[in-house]
Amino acid sequence: MRRRWVTVITVIMVCAALLAGCGGTQTGSKESPKELVYASAKDINDMNPHVYTGSNPAQGVVYESLVENTEEGFKPLLAESWEISGDGKVYTFHLRKDVKFHDGEPFNAEAVKKNIEAVQRNAAKHAWIKLSTKIVSCNVIDTHTVQLVLSEAYYPALLELSFTRPYVFISPNHFKDGETKNGVNGYSGTGPYKLTEHKVDQYAVFEANEGYWGGAPKIKKLTAKVLPAGETTFLAMKKGEVNFLFTDDRGTDSIDVEAMTKLADSGGYQIVRSKPMNTKMIVANSSKTNSPVHETAVRQAIWHVIDRETISKQIFKGTEPAAYTLFSANVKYADVDLKKQGYDPEAAQKLLEQAGWVLGSGQEVRTKNGSKLSMKLYYDSNSSSQKTQAELIQHAAKKIGIQLELAGEQSTSIAKRRATGDYDLLFNQTWGLAYDPQSTIAAFTSDSSYLHTTKGIARANELYQKITQVTAAMDENVRKSLYADILRIVHEEAVFIPITNGSVTIVAPNTLQDIGFKQSQFELPFEKMHFQ
Amino acid sequence: MGWYITKRGLLSVPMIVIISFLTFVLINLSPQDPAEVVLQAQGVPQITKELIAQTRAELGMDRPFLTRYFHWLTACLQLNFGNSYVTGEPVWALLGPAFSNTFKLTLVSVIAMIALSIVLGVMCALKEGGLMDQSVRGVSFFLTSMPSYLLAALMIWYFSVKLDLLPTSGMESYPSYVLPVTIIAVNYAGIYFRIVRSSMISNLHEDYVLYGRACGLPERKITIHMVRNSLQVAVSVFCMAVPIILGSTVVVENMFAWPGLGSLSVKAILSRDFPMIQAYVLVLAVSFVLFNTVSDMVNAAMNPRVRRDL
């Protein structure tokens, strides 16, 4: 009897081993020197570049814009050159003549017009991008010249035309009934890579566009592999099934700092970090009159109880430097001389005492006219680092008599609170390098973004006036001065309380060269990378 | 038996209608405006009041609740669950492949789990109280109480990374099935083999076993009889294991990047993709009702007394 059972178990084990053995060739897909397989927590989704569901990095390699935003300023991309009329209302672009869409359709002024008009017909969805509200017409001058007419001067026009979406170009052959707002039936752009295969929630393959006007990329194949769990991503990297990863759309690393270090220590990988790309911060609701957060002194006190250096060293293991201003100095117009205010509980106590918030003997929470110095701080429940930071801040605040109640919620609920003004304090981050400062600052006036944050401050009207002026200012010095004023006002009012600067992290094979970044945290210049 | 099948089948129809109504009501009770949810799900950077109004009109949210329900139900009967809020694609086009992927995983896992449960249950019962019985129960207790993600991570590390035998994730080849199936099968077999075992043990003390032995029947024949009788109890449990596993593969699918219902439901819930969530709940509920019905029918086929009770 026993022998029979032993036989059964042996047969099962042999079958399992055989089945496992069958996979040897399939699974051993170690990267060829010309291929990058990157881990992505999400599917690339709908690649229609005129809506917002698709993956930014994927769209970034398939589609291109007229101009490129670089550290040195705007450079030609699909437009070889451009002129701006004296009144700042007419932009004339001279297009490259050697560009074709992936489906063979020529890229010309007519294609630009069709694309821009399709975007404009879906204007409600693009309200965040102010250029969409200023475009009056897009006119074809000749086959390779196109003119964009604006209703008024708008200096960030070139910048917004350089974003990953929506002002990028897809072959008009893929339009549905002349539109893109109801979906497209193909994804041919002009970019260095073509989307050749997509298995939803599994992987997407991008092959080098050999006819790319900028020269065929050296890495011939990019594969985006969907790996939702960080543990699996780490193990897949160790095995070599995946050989590249980078910070996701939300600015979060898909594997933690220790795992990245382990990969680098194993000898096969390098870690590359970009310059600061955004600022992680706490947003204070100045317009909530029935909350202590309405007072400038209280907001400034909270600013002082945040130990940014400890957060940077302990929670982020030194990967995110402490931030003392809303934007880091590498953001255009943000290198402004603002008073550096750091962790200083004594200064915080002094501010509160002066404002009338007193700590009675035997009490833990300060009071003023019978009201408690108590506020609620919302954090993204999916972010482990935000919770830890919130706890650290709560502890420091408690020591000087500020009660912070913590509440973890989904990012969508937090966005809703921000839009409706139903919060005291919440974690947030700036829009990111290419979008900062102008998009983040434009959002100060938007009721779906930061209007509640800013409208309670004493100089709110002055702030909004300057924001309106800055986008129409054609003179560089005037712009600099206006931005400096705007940043000074929000800094002094402590409505955006900076914590750390986030950056893009890449983990890549040691042999990969020319790893770089763009002026955006959402995409990477894969076409410039190559193996040794 | 034919009459029983018809009657039992018909009884499940009102159940499905009630479930569909509850699904629709629950989703509609959500405090969030569906129009806002759609725009958030589509990643629109700035949601304006005008955009919300435009989207509400597009979604037909201004129609009365019952009209929307009947419209939705009749569409569902034709497998039209509406369009995903996130991608705008028909829900069935996304749910269909995910359902098929999870069903494949579930089917293989259930077969492995049943085989394992029967083998272990019978072996343990025959050696009740012995070293093997105790060790199997100890190991199964350890494995079932261990979180699936931990077990998955350990197995991926050992079999995929260290031994380089299997892929870490995905479902591109047959070997991709080995690790997720093993984790699911081991997890559930650890629970279900106890049912087979206790049923076998109670059979061991039945008169027919004693009678068989007294008559000199070979032990092998007696065991076969005992197994057959013991499995009658387990059949309905095994039938219900199919929808249970179908609906609980989230962790395993997430760890192994298996593009199935589990991953899809998590994604839908996080992005509040209501049409997708409704369809997911409905499909799972229907499969529960369906397998419950099948399990009753199998029981009735094996035991005539059940047929008379309906």
Per residue in B237-271, pLDDT (tens digit) is: 888 888 888 888 888 998 999 999 988 888 888 77
Segment A329-341, tens digit of pLDDT: 989 899 999 999 9
Burial B192-206 (b: 16+ CB within 10 A, else e): bbbbbbbbbbebbee
pLDDT class of B100 with cuts at 50, 70, 90: very high
pLDDT class of B51 with cuts at 50, 70, 90: confident
pLDDT over threshold 70, residue A185 = yes
Residue-range domains of chain A with CATH: 64-174 (3.40.190.10), 193-274+504-531 (3.40.190.10), 278-502 (3.10.105.10)
Query: What is the predicted pLDDT for the residue at B227?
Result: 85
Query: What is the predicted pLDDT for the residue at A249?
Result: 61
pLDDT over threshold 60, residue A32 = no
Cα nearest neighbour of B181 on chain A = A16
* DSSP H stretches of helix in B80-174: 91-126, 131-145, 148-155
Closest CA to A34 of A196, A286, A278, A206: A206
Q: With an 8 Å Cβ cutoff, are A410 and B51 in contact?
A: no
Chain A, residues 99-138, CB within 8 A of chain B, namely: 124-125, 127-129
Non-local (6+) Cβ contacts of A362 within 8 A are: none
pLDDT class of A427 with cuts at 50, 70, 90: very high
Query: What is the predicted pLDDT for the residue at B4?
Result: 79
Cα nearest neighbour of A419 on chain B = B47
Three-state SS at A206: strand
Cβ-Cβ contacts under 8 Å, A23 against chain B: 165-167, 173-176, 178
Segment A33-54, tens digit of pLDDT: 579 999 998 889 889 999 988 8
CA distance B251 to B155: 14
User: Is the Cβ of A14 closer than 8 Å to some Cβ of chain B?
Assistant: no
Q: Which secondary structure element, helix H or strand E, spans residue A15, and what is its range?
A: helix A2-22
pLDDT over threshold 50, residue A114 = yes
CA distance A113 to A66: 12
| Dihedral angle sign, alpha carbons of residues A158, A161, A163, A164 | negative
User: Is the Cβ of B295 closer than 8 Å to some Cβ of chain A?
Assistant: no
Q: Which of B48, B167, B267 sits opposite A124 (nearest CB)?
A: B48
pLDDT over threshold 50, residue A31 = no
CA distance A85 to A149: 10
Percentage of chain A modeled with pLDDT above 90: 69
Q: Which of A26, A226, A239 sits opposite B168 (nearest CB)?
A: A239
Q: With an 8 Å Cβ cutoff, are B257 and A229 in contact?
A: yes
Percentage of chain B modeled with pLDDT above 70: 98
Cα nearest neighbour of A56 on chain B = B43
With contact defined as beta carbons under 8 Å apart, do A96 and A65 qualify?
no
Average pLDDT over every residue of A153-173: 94
Query: What is the predicted pLDDT for the residue at A39?
Result: 92
User: Is the Cβ of A451 closer than 8 Å to some Cβ of chain B?
Assistant: no
Highest mean pLDDT among A117-126, A480-489, B125-134, B171-180: A480-489
Structure tokens at A151: 């209703």
User: Is the Cβ of B45 closer than 8 Å to some Cβ of chain A?
Assistant: yes
Q: A524 - beta bridge partners?
A: none
Closest CA to A170 of A70, A62, A245: A62
Segment B159-194, tens digit of pLDDT: 999 999 999 998 888 999 999 999 999 989 988 899
CA distance A302 to A494: 9
Query: What is the predicted pLDDT for the residue at A252?
Result: 62
pLDDT over threshold 50, residue B229 = yes
Taking only Cα atoms into account, the Rg of chain A, rounded to an integer number of angstroms, comes to: 26
pLDDT class of B228 with cuts at 50, 70, 90: confident
Q: With an 8 Å Cβ cutoff, are B171 and A446 in contact?
A: no
The backbone region for A99, taken as left when phi is positive above 0, alpha when psi lies in -120 to 50, beta otherwise, is beta
Tell me the pLDDT of chain B averaged across its residues.
Answer: 86
Average pLDDT over every residue of A480-499: 96
Query: What is the predicted pLDDT for the residue at A25?
Result: 36
Cβ-Cβ contacts under 8 Å, A238 against chain B: 161
Q: Which secondary structure element, helix H or strand E, spans residue A35, and what is its range?
A: strand A35-40
Cα nearest neighbour of B43 on chain A = A52
Q: With an 8 Å Cβ cutoff, are B98 and A46 in contact?
A: no
| Dihedral angle sign, alpha carbons of residues B40, B45, B46, B51 | negative
**pTM, two decimal places:** 0.82
With contact defined as beta carbons under 8 Å apart, do A457 and A495 qualify?
yes
Residue-range domains of chain B with CATH: 2-91 (no CATH), 100-309 (1.10.3720.10)
Cβ-Cβ contacts under 8 Å, B174 against chain A: 19, 22-23
Three-state SS at A137: strand
Q: Which of B51, B88, B264 sits opposite A127 (nearest CB)?
A: B51
Q: With an 8 Å Cβ cutoff, are B86 and A20 in contact?
A: no
User: Is the Cβ of A231 closer than 8 Å to some Cβ of chain B?
Assistant: yes
Give phi and psi for A332, each to the nearest 5.
-55, 140
Q: Give the number of other CB atoms < 10 A from CB of residue A405.
A: 12
Q: With an 8 Å Cβ cutoff, are B171 and A202 in contact?
A: yes
Q: With an 8 Å Cβ cutoff, are A53 and B86 in contact?
A: yes
CA distance B253 to A76: 45
Query: What is the predicted pLDDT for the residue at B37?
Result: 78
Query: What is the predicted pLDDT for the residue at B8?
Result: 80
* DSSP H stretches of helix in A306-383: 308-310, 345-354
Q: With an 8 Å Cβ cutoff, are B165 and A20 in contact?
A: yes
Average pLDDT over every residue of B101-126: 93
Q: A278 - beta bridge partners?
A: A502
pLDDT class of B231 with cuts at 50, 70, 90: confident
With contact defined as beta carbons under 8 Å apart, do A33 and A531 qualify?
yes
Query: What is the predicted pLDDT for the residue at B63?
Result: 79
Structure tokens at A162: 């350089």
Average pLDDT over every residue of A121-131: 86
Q: Which strand ranges, in their side-by-side order, compose the sheet holding A245-246?
A: A245-246, A505-509, A269-273
In angstroms, what separates the C-alpha of A201 from chain B's closest C-alpha?
5
User: Is the Cβ of A410 closer than 8 Å to some Cβ of chain B?
Assistant: yes
Cα nearest neighbour of A415 on chain B = B40
CA distance A204 to A224: 5
Cα nearest neighbour of B48 on chain A = A448
Q: Which of B161, B165, B266 sits opposite A235 (nearest CB)?
A: B161
Query: What is the predicted pLDDT for the residue at A28?
Result: 38
Taking only Cα atoms into account, the Rg of chain B, rounded to an integer number of angstroms, comes to: 24
pLDDT greater at residue A173 or residue A385: A173
CA distance A503 to A519: 11
To test the contact with chain B by mutation, choose from A5, A53, A223 the residue with the greatest count of B C-beta atoms within 10 A, namely A53
Cα nearest neighbour of A40 on chain B = B257
Cα nearest neighbour of A4 on chain B = B123
- The amino acid that residue A419 corresponds to is A
User: Is the Cβ of A20 closer than 8 Å to some Cβ of chain B?
Assistant: yes
Lowest mean pLDDT among A429-438, A489-498, B2-11: B2-11
Using a 10 angstrom Cβ sphere, with 0-12 exposed, 13-18 middle and 19 or more buried, the burial of residue A98 is: exposed
What is the β-pairing status of strands A203-208 and A221-226? antiparallel
Query: What is the predicted pLDDT for the residue at B247?
Result: 86
Three-state SS at A122: coil
Lowest mean pLDDT among A140-144, A221-225, B31-35, B102-106: B31-35
* DSSP H stretches of helix in A266-307: 296-305
pLDDT greater at residue B27 or residue A25: B27
What is the β-pairing status of strands A374-380 and A403-409? parallel
CA distance B7 to B309: 12
Query: What is the predicted pLDDT for the residue at A22?
Result: 41
CA distance B68 to B62: 9
Segment B191-201, tens digit of pLDDT: 889 989 988 89
CA distance A332 to A276: 12
